[in-house]
Structure 1
Amino acid sequence: MGSEEKMMDSSAILGVAVGLVLALTGAGGAILAVPLLLFVLDLSVARAGPIALLAVGMSAAVGAALGLRGGIVRCRAAVLMAASGMMMSPIGLWAARWLPNEPLVLVFACVLAWVSWRMLLQGRACAGVHPDRCTPCTSMAPPCQLDPASRRFVWTSACARALMASGAGAGFLSGLLGVGGGFVIVPALRRATDAPMQMIVATSLAVITLVSMAGVAASALAGRMDWPVGLPFAAGAVVGMLGGRRIASRLSGPRLQQGFAVVAGLTALGMMAKVLLASRGWQA
């Protein structure tokens, strides 16, 4: 078996892991995709980013389609967030193309460390609590309120601004780091809305699908998509998403979140160590 075939096989296996974590956490698999491609396949952030976006977008599309069938995706909110994200994604892609790889890896590691810390704290706070009842501590009413009768958001200017700002941040990080932005979207929807967690995750997957596909299209048009590695990785992610949804309901959400937070934190430390050792002339 040639080195190219081995890389394709490894890519598919890594994709399964990404899709599985994305299905179980609603946001985690996306931000683990790039570190896996960096460590296992030894790709640069600029090369790994579009591959990760392809896998994340395809696997999120599966989850979003199932959410649409169940009627729990808030479509107008998803489209608004995705539209603002699509405007910022090309700026992130441009920045990723021109920034050196080592500083970009450090930025990614810092973002990953922050996400792992937030998820660890949230997992502890929500231990033993039903996910839909575990909400951020705040005395202020969220700007986006669900209508009790229709189960749709009551649209106000404050609601629209909150969703657009969240989508823009997710879009920029999507282009810069090759992530779907779910780690931004899910907490933002928890703060900005009173929607139940199941609805938040489904809506987040819809936004991730739209934003990721926009980034994939931009990368493909610019000739920066590595299809031989990207397609097996994406196919594996879809398989992982489907498999993960079958076992997600049997696992404890907060404990799963804490476990992911530990893995993400260790990954962030490993990325930082790799860059620092490389800068001193060592091989990590």
Structure 2
Amino acid sequence: MLTFILGACVGLVLGLTGAGGGILAIPALTLGLGWSVTQATPVALLAVGSAALIGAMQGLRQGLVRYKAAATMAAAGWMAAPLGIHVAARVPGTALTTVFALVMLVVACRMYLQSRRDDEAQGALQRNCMLDPATGKLDWNARCLATLASIGAGSGFLTGLLGVGGGFFIVPAFRRFSDVRMHGVVATSLMVVALVSLGTLGHMFSQGVTLSSTGTLFTVSALAGMVAGRVAVPNLPARLLQQMFCVLCVAVSLIMLGKVFSSVG
């Protein structure tokens, strides 16, 4: 029952924010079920990747996904993910948990500060990737391509290193460097998370990684949570969701750091 509840919560947050499920999957498995980061990584990737795929398909039907941008970020992510896996295999578990918690803390604080800025004021700024007013599509140029590829590579490396979907990195970065509205950012993030997570998981399977029945249950419950989150998200303010997610991430990261320090002490 605990596994089902934790998975459903991860899927729900991913559906609501497009960013939170991946970064909360590892803490749910390590703090909630007592797994190591290494054990939790493939399960988190399968759960988050599958759930994100459902959300991305819905976003495609609604015309929210910037599919060319998603494909660009995912391609860069696929190339960077094996490097993250390679580094993770050579880093002690305690150090990996500490890095994960610190990354979560920094990203959460940045997202919270970003959410407090005026959306209209942000939209007036010149970004690396701007929408063409005539077509409503991104104006592709070398600067935009390089920006999206960099976001994707960063997401892929973190996916391989920390076993997260990368949405917590994609959402604030894509929002910072483009003038795409928040719901479009979330939908595009879900597509990238799905492609990079499942691609990275395939690489792990090729190296002999397997899943337990508990991991399968966690995945199924995450899918249910994702469906519920995507149904509810149109009725909730994006800024409030982002701020609530940030507060949750800060709390979880502090708990993880406290656990690391207590074990060292």
- Is the pair's TM-score, using the shorter chain for normalization, greater than 0.5? yes
Aligned-partner residue type, residue 106 of structure 2:
W
Deviations 1:78-124 (A, max 9, x none): 11110110011111112112211000000001011112212322333
Which range moved further: 116-125 or 183-192? 116-125
Counterpart in 1 of 2:188? 203
Which range moved further: 203-212 or 225-234? 225-234
Which range moved further: 215-224 or 15-24? 215-224
* 8 A contact 1:47–1:224 mirrored in 2: no
Offset at 1:134?
Answer: 6.5
C-alpha separation between the residues in 1 aligned to 2:180 and 2:243? 23
Q: SS of the counterpart of 1:226?
A: coil
Identity of aligned residues (%): 45
Q: SS of the counterpart of 1:154?
A: coil
Gaps of 5+ in 2: none
- Say yes or no: does 1:64 pair with 2:84: no
Q: Which has the larger Rg?
A: 1
Counterpart in 2 of 1:33? 25
Counterpart in 1 of 2:235? 250
- Say yes or no: does 1:97 pair with 2:84: no
Q: SS of the counterpart of 1:151?
A: coil
Alpha-carbon RMSD = 1.7
User: What TM-score results when the alignment is normalised by the length of structure 1?
Assistant: 0.88
Counterpart in 2 of 1:146? 131
* 8 A contact 2:111–2:172 mirrored in 1: no
The correspondence of residues 7-22 of structure 1 with structure 2, limited to 5 A, is 9-22=1-14
C-alpha separation between the residues in 1 aligned to 2:70 and 2:14? 18
Offset at 1:38?
Answer: 0.4
The correspondence of residues 1-284 of structure 1 with structure 2, limited to 5 A, is 9-125=1-117, 133=120, 135=122, 139=125, 141-280=126-265
Aligned-partner residue type, residue 135 of structure 2:
S
Offset at 1:151?
Answer: 2.1
Aligned-partner residue type, residue 16 of structure 2:
L
Aligned-partner residue type, residue 257 of structure 2:
M
Which range moved further: 166-175 or 194-203? 194-203
Which range moved further: 249-258 or 78-87? 249-258
C-alpha separation between the residues in 2 aligned to 1:11 and 1:223? 24
Offset at 1:67?
Answer: 1.0
Gaps of 5+ in 1: 1-8
C-alpha separation between the residues in 1 aligned to 2:107 and 2:32? 22
* 8 A contact 2:182–2:238 mirrored in 1: no
C-alpha separation between the residues in 2 aligned to 1:117 and 1:223? 37
* 8 A contact 1:56–1:209 mirrored in 2: yes
